[in-house]
A = this chain, B = another copy of it.
Amino acid sequence: MPIFREKAEAIFSRAAFAGDLGIRFRDAGPGWCESVLEIKPKHLQQDGYVHAGVQATIADHTAGGGAGTLAAEGDLVLTVEFKINFLRPALGERLLCRASVLRQGKTLQVAESEVYAERDGIRKMVAKAMVTLALVPAASR
């Protein structure tokens, strides 16, 4: 589904902060998106785990990718709010994230994002987020 992938990918390639962090687009389809991040020392907090802010950023940004697949051409996709629970310390070689849209409205979307840490080939869910996003038509800006 090239058009969904294209829309989600644009949200990754155009966002300086996602790129600076090392969050890379992986795949997308109607209402979902996946991303990956190779864990580097710079991503850690004071106790050697991946910082909550890194996990929150990949969760939020991938939700934006998922919502973006359902947005009209030129719409802004903006995060209204999100909530994230950290389920276990995040350790390993990489983070993977999958976001799925739970509810598509005219102006609001609700998505959930699951963040996994992969360590020695074993994948564990380390965080889960619920994200509310607004679609702002290009025309109204």
The residues of B that contact A43 with a CB separation of less than 8 Å are 16-17
Q: How far is the CB of A117 from chain B (nearest CB, A)?
A: 13
A132: Cβ under 8 A from any B Cβ: yes
CB-based contact B86/A81 at 8 Å: yes
CB-based contact B53/A57 at 8 Å: yes
The residues of B that contact A52 with a CB separation of less than 8 Å are 57, 60-61, 79, 82
CB-based contact A128/B130 at 8 Å: yes
A interface bracket (residues with beta carbon within 8 Å of B) = 35 or more
A94: Cβ under 8 A from any B Cβ: no
Closest 10 CB pairs of A and B: A53-B57, A17-B51, A14-B46, A83-B83, A87-B103, A81-B85, A20-B42, A52-B79, A56-B56, A15-B46
Binding site for B on A (CB under 8 A): 10-11, 14-18, 20-21, 41-47, 51-54, 56-58, 60-61, 76, 78-89, 102-103, 107-108, 110, 112, 125, 128, 130, 132, 134
